[in-house]
Amino acid sequence: MKIRILAVGQKMPSWVEQGVNEYLRRLPADFKVQFEECALGQRRGQHSGAKAKEQEGQTLLAKIHPKERVIALDVQGKAWSSETLAEQATDWRMDGRDVVLLIGGPDGLADACLQRAEQRWSLSALTLPHPLVRVVLAEQLYRAWSLISGHPYHR
């Protein structure tokens, strides 16, 4: 199984890349996670946020393969514990399809992305900055793998 994380936003601070890479390098080849960045939509004028969100949505949707399982990170999604994420990841592996996790831009995910998603997952009820979301997500995926494989990381 391959997990792709499509994230709106580019040019993250170096600490984000370091944090993400720390967890991704620990994962085995059969639980591959990769990040792909997408450009922010243009934000100008009175209705810039809505138009930018739609642009970002189109960019994200264009990168999704038809057979991939799509999970939207959405504040209105369901909150999962680390154990629940491990169960979800086990189900994803059994399903046989690759997984795509979507991280929206400053205005969230476009409606079309939310409609394409099979699941909506909320990392937190808190508003988290996008750079931090990437590190938290990488760590939680590593933690899920450690639970699945019986690794002592999750104690």
Residue 27 labeled ligand binder = no
The sign one gets for the Cα dihedral 86, 91, 96, 98 is negative
Residue 125 labeled ligand binder = yes
Residue 104 labeled ligand binder = yes
User: What is the distance between the alpha carbons of residues 151 and 82, in angstroms, rounded to a whole number?
Assistant: 14
User: What is the distance between the alpha carbons of residues 58 and 104, in angstroms, rounded to a whole number?
Assistant: 11
Residue 108 labeled ligand binder = no
Closest listed residue to residue 35, CA positions, set 73, 2, 78 = 2
Residue 128 labeled ligand binder = yes
Residue 84 labeled ligand binder = no
Residue 147 labeled ligand binder = no
Which positions make up the binding site for S-adenosyl-L-methionine?
Answer: 73, 104, 123-128
Which positions make up the binding site?
Answer: 73, 104, 123-128
